[in-house]
Structures are given as structure tokens and as C-alpha cells.
Amino acid sequence: MTLRNDTREKGPTPAPMEGGGAYNRHSQVQASGLEPAVEWLVEAARRVAIPPSPAVPVVADWGSSQGRNSMRPMRSALQALRERAGADRAIVVAHTDLPGNDFAGLFRTLDHDPASYLRSDPSAFPVAVGRSFYGPTLPPRTVSLGWSSWAVQWLSRQPCEIPDQVQVAYSRNAEARAAYEAQAASDWRAFLDARALELLPGGGMVVLTMAIDDDGAFGYRELLDAMYDALVEMSACGAITPDELRHMAIPTVARSAKDVARPFDQAGRCGDLRLRRTEVFLAADRIYDEFEASRDAQAFGRAWAAFSRASVFPTLAGSLDASGDATRVAAFMDALETSLAERLAAAPVRMRIPLVRAEIDRV
């Protein structure tokens, strides 16, 4: 197994979601898990420190992608802040993501989407930042309220290859599991340290990310088995090389409530941050709900394959030798999507979707 110490090495470092608005169109799984965290965000918005005028309050959205799933939390947060800040006060909403993110898609969403918070809040001013959230994204002590959903499960880098899966949670390789666990712990700490600097004293944030549930389950088992089987078959028939398959991984991790709390001491403190509360819950599988209503197994397979394509195929494609060759990348993603959809349609099953929400204040 190769350890990757150089984050610039070719291989599966996280790639942004599929562009051209694809993530926006195929992220209903993520959308359906947001609500419990939005509740906490609204409560935080009623409480967090707002800087005195003429300073402009800042709301941050770390890992926004193309923005559709940010509209509901940002709209709700702004409504709650307006009760305190007044209708006319300018508020900046800073959407951050990796430099390669489809930021044009984000601004189109802000402009065109009927759910855009700009429709109801003309005094909100969106801006975008293309920098990793494992380092600084915004000036120190500026953020009153922060949000991050479905994003910090992405590691800053792939710590090592996974010899028998693309998702480490389903690998039997102890060395790979340990390396991912160590990377996850260090990334979570880096995320917290960076936010501690950016949050205004008295500010707060809500983080929603993939979880290990109370039974120790990562979830999505059937999806990930089908994806890996499809890749193995593509390798066997020469569509990808054994080396490409070996390099492929989805560098995401799930965290238990304990993992989230680990950097915090008994009093809930981690430097200037304080963990107010954290909770693991299961999100609904809307795709299976639709299957139960329609009994359309093909639609079930297509929906999970489209979700996978939009969110993780670009990272898998980063391990192709010709990852700069758009034609080969498109052919790879098309073939994997078709194979995955067929496999899932053969035996529709409800996916387990564990999530963890955490509310953290800057004291």
C-alpha cells in the first residue's frame, strides 16, 4: 500500500462536485437530510453576536458547491437575523468551496432559483471564496454565523490507497482504516482551528456531516458495493487499468458523535470554541420512498447512479491516467453510471443515511 504524503501527487484528492449544475440537479439525497441542522442554525441566528454598525455582519457557508442546497439554510438564517438586525442592514453571505468549484453555477442559482434567498432578502450580498476550508477562508473575527453541510466528510487528501474498496468504511484493510481515521481526526481539528479564527467572539456555527450511527454503520452499503463491483468489472474488461482502479478512492469519512466531540475537553472547550451539542440521526432515503410509490426499479437505479455521478465520480475520474482527457473522463463516467444504475435497479433497497449535526460557538 502506498502512503501519499504529497498532496499534489496525482490521485484521488477530492475533486469538486460535477459541474454544469449537475450537483444542483442530483443532490436531493443531501437536501432531505438538512432540516434538523437548519433548526439549530435558526436557533443560533437568534443568539449569535452581530457586530455593531457600520461593520457588516457575515454569514458563512463552507462547502457550498453550486448552491441549491444552501438556499434553504441561508434563507432561514437570514430571516432569523433580520428580526434582530432589521430589514435594511447589509449582510454578506460568503459561500466557500474548492477553487475548481462551479461558482458560475452558484451565481446562476442565486440569480434564477425561485428558492434563492435573494428573492426575499434584497439586502443580502452573496460573495464566493475559492479556498479550502482546512485553512483560512475569511478574515479573522468576522463571521457571526456559520453553516457547513455535507462537506467536512471530504478529507483534505487521500492518506493511502484502499486495496479492496473505494470507500474505506467497507475496507477490510486495517492499515487503510487507521490512516483514514488519523487523517479525519487531523482534518476535523484543522477545520475547527480555522473557524475559531474566523468566527466573531459570540458567533456560532452549525455543521452537518456524514456519520457513523449508533450501530457503527456508515450506511450506503449496497450503493458502495455496487460501485466497487462495477469498477472491478470495468477493470476486468479493460475500460480502466488495474493501476487506475488501485488508485481510485472516495476520500470521505463518517464521524460518530464521539469523533466530533474528541477535540473538545470535558467542559466542551477546544481553544476558543465550545461544543454546545451534537447528535446523530438518520435521514430519509427519498429515492427509495419514490420507488415504493412508483415501483419503478429503473428510476431507483438511475437516481442513485446520478447522485453518485454528481458527487463522487469526478474524484474517481481523477485517478484515470488521462484525467485531463475530457473524452475519456466522460466515457468513464457514462459507463460507470450505466453499470451502477443497472446493478441497483436489480435489487432496490432502502439506504441507511446516518448524519451528525453539531452546534459550536466561538466564546
**264 forms part of the interface with ligand SAM (CB under 6 A):** no
Q: Name which of 112 and 215 has its Cβ closer to ligand SAM.
A: 112
- CB nearer to ligand SAM: pick between 69 and 165: 69
Rounded to the nearest 10°, the torsion over CA 5, 10, 16, 19 is: 180
Q: Minimal distance in Å, beta carbon 15 to ligand SAM?
A: 7
For ligand SAM, which is the closer residue by CB, 63 or 159?
Answer: 63
Q: How long, in residues, is the chain?
A: 363
By CB under 6 A, the residues from 147 to 176 that bind ligand SAM are 149-151, 154, 156
Could you give phi then psi for residue 118, rounded to 5 degrees? -70, -20
| 254 neighbors 211 (Cβ within 8 angstroms) | yes
Binders of ligand SAM among residues 94 to 113 (CB under 6 A) are 96-98, 101
- Give the up-direction half-sphere exposure of residue 35: CA atoms within 13 A in the CB hemisphere: 6
Candidate list 134, 188, 228, 304; residue touching ligand SAM; CB under 6 A: 134
Q: How far is the CB of 217 from ligand SAM (least distance, A)?
A: 20
List C-alpha distances in Å: 357 to 3, 95, 133, 279, 286.
Answer: 31, 19, 18, 5, 19
From 93-101, 278-286, 315-323, 332-340, span contacting ligand SAM (CB under 6 A): 93-101
Helix and strand numbers, DSSP H then E, in the chain: 14, 8
69 in contact with ligand SAM (CB under 6 A): yes
Q: Per rule CB under 6 A, is residue 63 in the interface with ligand SAM?
A: yes
Q: Residue 225 CA to chain centroid, in angstroms?
A: 21
Minimum distance, C-beta of residue 183 to ligand SAM, in the bound complex (Å) = 12
Among positions 27, 142, 167, 319, the unique one binding ligand SAM when judged by CB under 6 A: 27
61 closest CA partner among 126, 141, 153, 139? 126
Q: How many CB atoms lie within 10 A of CB 268?
A: 16
Binding to ligand SAM in span 268-287, by CB under 6 A: none
Residue of 14, 19, 318, 348 interacting with ligand SAM (CB under 6 A): 14
Phi then psi for residue 190, to 5 deg, are -65, -40
Q: Which residues bind ligand SAM (CB under 6 A)?
A: 14, 16-17, 27, 30, 63-65, 69-70, 96-98, 101, 132-134, 149-151, 154, 156, 311
